[in-house]
Amino acid sequence: MAIARALVRDTPVLVLDERATGLDGESARRVMEPLRRPTASRTTFLTTHDARPAAQADAVPPVGPLPEPLDMPPMGGRAKVV
């Protein structure tokens, strides 16, 4: 519900905290895919332990060891580890 409110209000900054936690791959894709367009035009902070959504970011400031390299992400992202 909070994501819907933020999108309707056209907030300039989105904070998405573990948006696909506990979901299987297909369900996570169904949650993440519709958020691609609205997050492309806003500053978006995403916290995640999953390399798939992190790989879609423009930059990734890791807080700890990465679970897999982000230069060849499973979803074909463009992330640059900073």
pLDDT at 44 over 50: yes
Q: What is the pTM of this model?
A: 0.61
What pLDDT does 17 receive? 85
Tens-digit pLDDT profile for residues 4-32? 888 888 888 888 888 777 888 888 888 88
User: How far is it, in rounded angstroms, from Cα 5 to Cα 11?
Assistant: 9
Tens-digit pLDDT profile for residues 48-80? 877 777 777 888 787 776 666 555 444 445 555
User: How far is it, in rounded angstroms, from Cα 81 to Cα 61?
Assistant: 6
Tens-digit pLDDT profile for residues 33-42? 888 888 888 8
**What are the structure tokens assigned to 13, written together?**
């900054």
Q: Is the dihedral of CA 47, 53, 54, 58 positive or negative?
A: negative
